[in-house]
């Protein structure tokens, strides 16, 4: 009888251990997150339980000024305990990373509501980057998106201050989420984040060397359609336009001869005249994707075939039926510069550029992002300050007085890759704002040996782009048929490419 009782007690004890272990495993992610950070409901989404946990809130990077940066974390749908953690930054400068969340690779596709300003309907995005990684969407610097400061002098900022603040954010964020410290960590972004990403990566590596705590498990970075260097970016458009048959061979030869291959700061009258001919030929195009229409009429048909497997929000990119205006204006700046290289000094806001060159504004709608992020219920659900407190969300702010003060990014890329950090530099091959011709040229200028020669890469047995691998862990790639925001125009291909690169697989 005593033996039976002991056996029963032993079994009960083992069962209790299993229950506790199971509970600990289930709460592995929820235990360390800051109280109240989990997003328990997502207004507009009616599809039941989310495929992974979401967290959002503020991290104060300057207590005295009340400078607070907003983040939204989407945990990996696969294995958040082991999958890579990626910080995503949109460009501008001054544009919110909710651009990436809403329009590119976030967890949802957004469908406009029944009337102007009504709450959008959210559907799960089959090509979300959270399929294979956890992603932090960060609004940086303060004044952008849902981030703000109580001291408006903080809105006078630039590359170096932005990188320093974002590094402070990361150190404090990992203190709040220490369970992610062992995960491989990457920094990624597009457009003007071609400056944000290398400068922040530099700050992170410097912090590691100096013993900053907690120690970030930084592995590398990604830059998509990113600005980099005044001369390389500035001299890229004319060869791109010629290669894409947007200008004639005669116009190209005239420009090349008159400007001697130096287009971004040509000083002769002959060069300026030749470049004006180039501008005349391309001025009616969508500079962010030359395949996408810019000026729409109500009779225009859908651009993507009806049998396309792309999500509806992507299929609707070219639809204009029922739109009240012949030209749909979208975000005054996924990219900077507007037909100009990155130059040292003050960067004009997108509102200023829109006045100066209205025909250069991209031709899509930011309606759903604006309606969703300015809804009081949404603000409350994602733990953001209300509109009455910090003002409306804008895709690209006009609050900043921003200065490009970090110089060329080439030295940053060299320094990082020479230390063994992996780098993926990719371009949509139909982006005319930051053409791949300039990106390909500066990556080659690093002088690294080729370890994987130029070749196609495939998705579902179809050629999806071309890639070349260099020494020091650097990869340059183009994505076929994609514009400036690759994950929006080519979401399936972008996810496949991203997943393979994060895994260290051959592309």
Give the residue numbers marked as catalytic.
Answer: 191, 431, 484
Residue 426 near residue 224, CB atoms below 8 Å: yes
Q: Which two tokens stand for residue 452?
A: 């994987």
Angle at 329 between CA 327 and CA 333, to 5 degrees: 145
Cβ-based neighbours of 217, under 8 Å, separated by 6 or more: 181, 182, 183, 184, 185
User: To 10 degrees, what angle do helices 159-176 and 193-209 make?
Assistant: 60
Helices (H) and strands (E) in the chain, counts: 17, 15
Residue 367 host element (H or E) = helix 367-373
Cβ-based neighbours of 2, under 8 Å, separated by 6 or more: none
Residue 455 host element (H or E) = strand 450-459
Q: Which two tokens stand for residue 275?
A: 């470049």
The residue behind tokens 């809130």 is: 57
Residue 52 near residue 77, CB atoms below 8 Å: yes
State the distance between the two ends of the chain, measured CA to CA, in whole angstroms: 66
Beta-carbon neighbour count of residue 425 at 10 Å?
Answer: 23
Q: Sheet of 345-347: strands edge to edge? A: 156-158, 401-404, 345-347
Residue 445 near residue 410, CB atoms below 8 Å: yes
Cβ-based neighbours of 272, under 8 Å, separated by 6 or more: 266
- Note if the bond before 288 is cis, omega within 30 degrees: no
Cβ-based neighbours of 186, under 8 Å, separated by 6 or more: 84, 85, 86, 87, 218, 219, 220, 221, 222, 502
Residue 200 half-sphere exposure toward CB, CA atoms < 13 A:
33
CA Rg value for the chain: 24
Please tell me whether residue 366 adopts helix, strand or coil conformation: coil
Residue 396 near residue 447, CB atoms below 8 Å: no
Please tell me whether residue 85 adopts helix, strand or coil conformation: strand
């Amino acid at each position: 009888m005593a033996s039976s009782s002991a056996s029963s007690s032993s079994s009960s004890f083992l069962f209790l251990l299993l229950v506790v272990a199971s509970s600990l495993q289930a709460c592995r992610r929820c235990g360390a997150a800051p109280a109240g950070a989990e997003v328990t409901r997502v207004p507009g989404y009616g599809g039941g339980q989310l495929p992974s946990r979401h967290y959002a809130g503020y991290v104060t990077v300057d207590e005295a000024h009340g400078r607070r940066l907003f983040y939204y974390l989407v945990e990996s749908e696969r294995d958040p305990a082991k999958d890579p953690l990626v910080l995503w930054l949109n460009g501008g400068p001054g544009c919110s990373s909710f651009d990436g969340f809403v329009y590119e690779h976030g967890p949802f596709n957004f469908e406009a509501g029944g009337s102007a300003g009504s709450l959008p309907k959210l559907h799960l995005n089959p090509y979300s980057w959270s399929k294979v990684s956890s992603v932090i969407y960060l609004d940086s610097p303060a004044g952008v998106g849902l981030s703000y400061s109580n001291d408006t002098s903080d809105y006078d900022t630039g590359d170096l201050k932005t990188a320093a603040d974002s590094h402070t954010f990361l150190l404090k964020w990992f203190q709040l989420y220490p369970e992610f410290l062992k995960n491989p960590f990457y920094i990624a972004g597009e457009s003007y984040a071609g400056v944000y990403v290398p400068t922040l990566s530099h700050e992170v590596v410097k912090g590691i060397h100096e013993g900053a705590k907690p120690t970030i498990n930084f592995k590398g970075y990604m830059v998509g359609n990113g600005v980099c260097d005044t001369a390389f970016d500035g001299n890229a458009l004319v060869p791109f336009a010629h290669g894409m048959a947007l200008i004639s061979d005669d116009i190209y030869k005239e420009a090349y001869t008159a400007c001697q291959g130096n287009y971004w700061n040509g000083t002769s009258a002959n060069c300026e005249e030749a470049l004006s001919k180039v501008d005349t030929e391309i001025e009616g195009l969508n500079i962010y994707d030359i395949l996408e229409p810019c000026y729409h009429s109500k009779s225009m048909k859908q651009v993507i075939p009806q049998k396309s497997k792309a999500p509806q929000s992507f299929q609707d990119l070219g639809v204009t039926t029922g739109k009240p205006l012949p030209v749909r204006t979208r975000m005054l700046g996924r990219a900077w510069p507007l037909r100009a290289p990155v130059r040292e000094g003050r960067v004009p806001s997108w509102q200023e550029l829109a006045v100066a060159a209205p025909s250069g504004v991209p031709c899509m709608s930011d309606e759903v992002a604006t309606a969703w992020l300015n809804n009081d219920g949404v603000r409350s659900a994602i733990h953001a300050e209300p509109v009455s407190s910090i003002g409306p969300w804008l895709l690209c702010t006009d609050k900043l007085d921003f200065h490009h003060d970090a110089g060329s990014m080439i030295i940053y890329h060299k320094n990082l890759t020479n230390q063994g950090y992996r780098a993926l530099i990719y371009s949509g091959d139909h982006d005319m704002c930051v053409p791949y011709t300039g990106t390909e040229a500066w990556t080659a200028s690093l002088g690294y040996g080729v370890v994987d020669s130029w070749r196609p890469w495939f998705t579902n047995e179809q050629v999806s782009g071309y890639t070349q691998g260099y020494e020091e862990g650097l990869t340059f790639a183009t994505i076929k048929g994609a514009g400036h925001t690759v994950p929006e125009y080519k979401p399936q291909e972008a996810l496949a490419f991203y997943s393979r690169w994060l895994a260290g697989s051959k592309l």
